[in-house]
Structure formats: structure tokens, C-alpha cells
Amino acid sequence: MSKAKTVLYCLIVLIVAGIVFGLASYHRLREEPAGLLSVLPKNKDVSLNNIHHVATRDGVKEWMLDAKSAQYETANNKTIFKDISVTFFLKDGKTVHLNSRDGLLLTDTKDMEVWGDVVVRSGPYKLNTDKLRYDHKTRTISTETPIAIKGDRIEITGNSMIFNLKTEQVVVLGKVNAIF
């Protein structure tokens, strides 16, 4: 066998082995995505695009987050998002959808803060504000900035608001104006 054929066969074997190894690694990471975290650099900030994250508690899906990009800051234990969308799941099967330009997730507490063209939709109701906070422990969404809620033949404005996702109760505070 000529030297050229031997080199060609060796190259083919190496390429096939590389493909097999790549496919095996892909399937392993697909089945066990937590393994992907082990290959990320330790004590380094990480940037990612097209993020999808689901938060559960006791096996129950509480919220789902999608974002165009994220920057994880290891030292501060937080993730900063761009073009963020969060869906909160309520006990009765209803959902609350939140969208904003920017957001921040504290990875140890799962608390969130979003700002910039914040829109929250639930059923026929739409809330607009500049900034919102989500407290994961109490499952409440709150803001200290002016809000406007519009829905079926109702408009409510106020200086601040608290929405309890467990009880589905909204409290609007400060210069409240309601039109029915």
C-alpha cells in the first residue's frame, strides 16, 4: 500500500472517530444538561445568547424565562439579561406574562428585577410600568414606580403595586385612580 493511501486511511479513521466522539458527547449533554456547567470556566463571567430557563419548586414549574442574551457575573452571583420574557405559572393553570428590555436574576435566591418598557399581561389585563421586582420566596411581583392597568372596561393607575401570585390579589397604592 502506498504512503498516500495510508495517510488517507488514517485521516478517514480520525475524522470518523471525531464524529463518533462528538455525537456521543452531544447525546450525553442533551440527556444531562447539568454536565455542560462542569465544562464552563470556574470563577469567570460567561456570556450566552438565546437563554431558556425553567424554575421549579417541589417538582412544580413556577416560572419560565427566555432572553435574547445573558451575562453571568460569577463574583456577584447574578445574571443580567437583554430582551427578557418571563411566564409565571399559577395554581389554577393561568399564566402571567412579563416582558422588558433588561433584567437581572440573583441566582442564589431566584429573585428578579426587570426594567425598561415593562409589560405584564394576565388574561384581559395589561400592566405597564418602568420597573418590577419578583420575590421568589413570597411569589410576589412589586414595583415602587407608577403603574397603569388596563382591561375589560377598567383602567387603574397608581404610584406602586404588589401582586401576589399565590392568591392572585393585586394591591395598588398611592394616588390610585380607577375608571370603570
Residue 44 binned pLDDT confidence (cut-offs 50, 70, 90) = low
Tell me, yes or no, whether 80 and 107 share the same domain: yes
Percent helix, strand, coil in the chain, to 5, is 20, 55, 25
Considering just the CA atoms, what is the radius of gyration of the chain in Å? 23
What amino acid occupies position 159? N
Tell me, yes or no, whether 32 and 51 share the same domain: no
The mean per-residue pLDDT over the stretch 67-75 comes to: 87
Which has the higher per-residue pLDDT, 39 or 87?
87
18: containing domain: 1-39
120 forms beta bridges with 98, 127
Neighbours of 115 (CB within 10 A): 18
The predicted-structure confidence for 81-124, as pLDDT tens digits, reads as follows 999 999 999 888 889 999 999 999 998 888 999 999 999 998 89
d(CA 66, CA 86): 6
pTM attached to this predicted model: 0.71
Tell me, yes or no, whether 96 and 12 share the same domain: no
Which has the higher per-residue pLDDT, 47 or 114?
114
120 close to 97: Cβ distance less than 8 angstroms: yes
Tell me, yes or no, whether 47 and 31 share the same domain: no
Domain of 118, CATH number, reads 2.60.450.10
Tell me, yes or no, whether 146 and 173 share the same domain: yes
- Number of structural domains found in the chain: 2
| pLDDT given for residue 42 in this prediction | 58
